[in-house]
Amino acid sequence: MGRKRRQKQNPKKSLSPFEGVEGKLQQAISLYQAGQLPQAEQRCQQILRDFPQHADALHLLGVIACQVEEYKIATDLISRALEIGSNQSQPQFSEMYNNLGNALLGQGNLEESIQAYQQAIHIQPQFSEAYYNLGNALRKQGKLEESIKAYQQSIRLQPDHVEAHNNLGIALEEQGKLEESIKNYQQAIHLRPDYAVVYGNLGTVLQKQGKLEESIKAYQQVIHLQPDDVAGYSNLIFAQDFHLGIDLKEQQIERQKWNQRFILPLADSIQSHPNDRNPQRLLRIGYVSADFRQHSAAQGFGQLILNYNQTQFEVFCYSGVVKEDKITKRFKDAASGWYSTIGKSDKELVQRIRNDEIDILVDLSGHTSGNRLLAFGYKPAPIQVTGIGCCPPGVTTIDYRLTTPIFSHPEEEKHFVESPVYLDSIMGFMIPLEIPFVGCLPAHENRYVTFGCLNRFSKVSGESLELWASLLKRIPDSKLLLKSGELNDRELREHTVERLSDLGVSSNRVILLGGTSRYEHLNTYNQVDISLDPFPYAGGVTTLESLCMGAPVVGLTDTSKLVHRSSSVILSPLGLGEWAAKTKDEYVEIVCNWVRNLGELAELRRELRDRVLTRAAKFAPQVEVGYREMWSRWCSGGKPSAIYIK
């Protein structure tokens, strides 16, 4: 949401024609500016008791409500202030429309907020803050070009507008212009070196570029400047999952620190659960995510919402999606209940979950963007679960984590706080509505082999490129195709070509592709003979997409951390365990052996989609067996412990 606009210290008297109240209004403004919101609110209420139609007092009261995220109340108050006013050419009305836009934006009413900001600009064309807030609303609508223009105009009017530089960086990053994005983040840091938010955004774009060390340093700076920044700490944990030098034990220690700082202090707020302890009754399952949309995470958990057993369960979705799409609509239509968490505090979300009488609450995000792990800290449901497609977050109020014997070993349980539920897989595969046919093996027509990696570029480590370069040297005339939205950035493409050239791979053997539509993205696999899984952070849904498009995936797995094991976790249940290498040399040999047997590779290509879909169909039923066992144990008063699902 946009930065809250402070009220002018000397409001025009034409807006406050009530004798004897200017002193109280000025006191209220001063208290608000000093951060003493309850006292400022009290002064406003005193004014309104005597003068219920006092526009300035209503306005300031609305701004205070917006500050504490009571956006509906803020909208009503500021709208009343505007109705009372008569001369809408005054700058104060521009302020009111700007703050009305902030309140509407907080509620997720993007179109109405845009109209309010535009009205503010119409009244006061030089209003930098309104352009900035307009940029925020347009960006959330996905209108990046218009958003960028609004931010740029805000900066032209106010060159030292730090937030505008920061959010312009975000919009450019979302356009794939990573280097331009970094320049704006750096300018924001230059203007305000202690601005924690911008370090977090800088860390994200550096991570997208594969600059992991620099990214982690940026996230650490966030924590240094703002130790209670929940999202910043989660970003640091997520980035460390990629780091080759951080093993499972160290990963979990960092999660323990996060839990101690943010979850344990909520213990006194946990309430008892009056849920009916009938082990056979219909259960209410709640899913919490910001990714109920076209997103790789949704591909992994989507079956649980689209294909649940309606005779046994009801499904409620708590959605942090800002811009809904066709996938969102599919989930909405399938779910028993839907609740948008946009603009809702953790306490509001917790109360809604309790009101919905959820029996089992499932985290679908871990420490990824948009998570609501703090809500899980209040334990709004008697049973809480995590682990679908992501590393467990290490939250002591979460009872169970979905895992497999390959993903986490029984002897490693001492490192985890959530009890394991051992399945065949920790993610399903929601087949896209539009998916291309599997084509013939490209090598037969090309007369050369094409290797591909379509994972997000942040997973493509320097070590991955080195291994792939050695593979290309072993197989003459072979080519490497890399595709990722981040590769829309010209400088990143040039850097990647230079890096591979330094490793002995000429540019004519490298194909770099940027972001495209989902259908075109999947169709790219019809140019790929064998997919190369990156490391240490292997593919998840990307691996399943490759397999579903007929391109087998060679992966590198070891035991040092969970994300190193993703290849084996996905490949083994599909009868492809031999494609998961334990060493780099074995990785290369696996590929070379298959390249020497293109006939068998072509036959495997024709089988893979059926294998994936057959296995994926078993995911939701197996998870639901786990839910029923968890519930049975809770009904009998048992504590969470390991569950094995056959």
Fold designation for 442-616: Rossmann fold (3.40.50)
Query: What is the DSSP code (8-state) at residue 577?
Result: G
| pLDDT per residue as tens digits for the range 79-91 | 999 988 755 457 7
Report d(CA 486, CA 207) in Å as an integer. 11
Going across the sheet that includes 479-483, the strands are: 510-513, 479-483, 450-453, 530-532, 553-556, 580-581
Q: How many CB atoms lie within 10 A of CB 600?
A: 11
| pLDDT score, position 561 | 66
Q: Greater confidence, 427 or 313? A: 313
Strand pairing report for 450-453 and 383-386: unpaired
**Cis peptide upstream of residue 536 (ω within 30 degrees of 0):** yes
| pLDDT score, position 20 | 56
| CA-based nearest residue to 301, from 609, 544, 572 | 544
Report d(CA 132, CA 166) in Å as an integer. 11
Query: Which residues lie across from 319 on neighbouring strands?
Result: 289, 340
Is the pLDDT at 5 greater than 50? The verdict is: no
The percentage of the chain sitting over the pLDDT mark of 90, rounded to a whole number, equals 68
**Alpha carbon distances (Å) from 274 to 355, 399, 466:** 11, 18, 57
Q: Do residues 114 and 98 make contact, with C-beta atoms less than 8 angstroms apart?
A: no
Q: Do residues 173 and 204 make contact, with C-beta atoms less than 8 angstroms apart?
A: yes
Mean pLDDT confidence for 43-70: 89
**Alpha carbon distances (Å) from 41 to 23, 45, 203:** 15, 6, 38
Residues of the chain with CATH 1.25.40.10: 1-124, 194-269
- pLDDT category at 17 given cuts 50, 70, 90 is very low
Mean pLDDT confidence for 417-433: 89
Report d(CA 622, CA 481) in Å as an integer. 36
Mean pLDDT confidence for 372-388: 96
Lowest mean pLDDT, pick from 240-244, 480-484, 577-581:
240-244
Model pTM?
A: 0.80
Query: What is the DSSP code (8-state) at residue 172?
Result: H
- pLDDT category at 559 given cuts 50, 70, 90 is low
Q: Do residues 296 and 82 make contact, with C-beta atoms less than 8 angstroms apart?
A: no
Is the pLDDT at 420 greater than 80? The verdict is: yes
* CATH classification code of 1-124: 1.25.40.10
List the beta strands (DSSP E) in 281-427. Answer: 283-289, 313-319, 337-340, 360-363, 383-386, 400-403, 419-422
Is the pLDDT at 9 greater than 50? The verdict is: no
- pLDDT category at 251 given cuts 50, 70, 90 is confident
Is the pLDDT at 16 greater than 70? The verdict is: no
Q: What is the overall mean pLDDT for the chain?
A: 90
Mean pLDDT confidence for 286-300: 93
Place of tokens 């897989």: 425
Is the pLDDT at 584 greater than 80? The verdict is: yes
Tell me the range of 52-56, 362-366, 386-390 where mean pLDDT is highest: 362-366
Is the pLDDT at 145 greater than 80? The verdict is: yes
- CB under 8 Å to 71, separation ≥6 — which residues? 65, 103, 104, 106, 107, 343
| pLDDT per residue as tens digits for the range 188-245 | 999 999 999 999 999 999 988 878 889 999 999 999 999 999 988 999 988 888 777 7
Residues of the chain with CATH 3.40.50.11380: 271-424+622-644
- pLDDT category at 441 given cuts 50, 70, 90 is very high
Query: What is the DSSP code (8-state) at residue 206?
Result: H
Place of tokens 């960086």: 169
Is the pLDDT at 12 greater than 50? The verdict is: no
Type of residue at 421? V
Report d(CA 323, CA 547) in Å as an integer. 29
Domain 271-424+622-644 is found in CATH 3.40.50.11380: yes
Residues of the chain with CATH 3.40.50.2000: 442-616
Instruction: Give counts: helices (H), strands (E), the chain.
Output: 28, 14
Q: Do residues 315 and 391 make contact, with C-beta atoms less than 8 angstroms apart?
A: no
Element of type H or E holding 188: helix 178-191
Residue-wise DSSP of 582-636: SSHHHHHHHHHHHHTTHHHHHHHHHHHHHHHHHHHTTHHHHHHHHHHHHHHHHHT
Report d(CA 101, CA 342) in Å as an integer. 15
Query: Which residues lie across from 530 on neighbouring strands?
Result: 451
Query: Phi/psi at 482 (nearest 5 deg)?
Result: -115, 130
The percentage of the chain sitting over the pLDDT mark of 70, rounded to a whole number, equals 95
| pLDDT per residue as tens digits for the range 493-547 | 999 999 999 999 999 999 999 999 999 999 999 999 999 999 877 888 999 999 9
Radius of gyration of the chain (CA): 27
Residue-wise DSSP of 426-466: S------SS-PPP---HHHHHSS-EEEE-S-GGG--HHHHH
Fold designation for 194-269: 1.25.40
Q: Greater confidence, 357 or 491? A: 357
Q: Do residues 259 and 396 make contact, with C-beta atoms less than 8 angstroms apart?
A: yes
Q: How many CB atoms lie within 10 A of CB 22?
A: 15
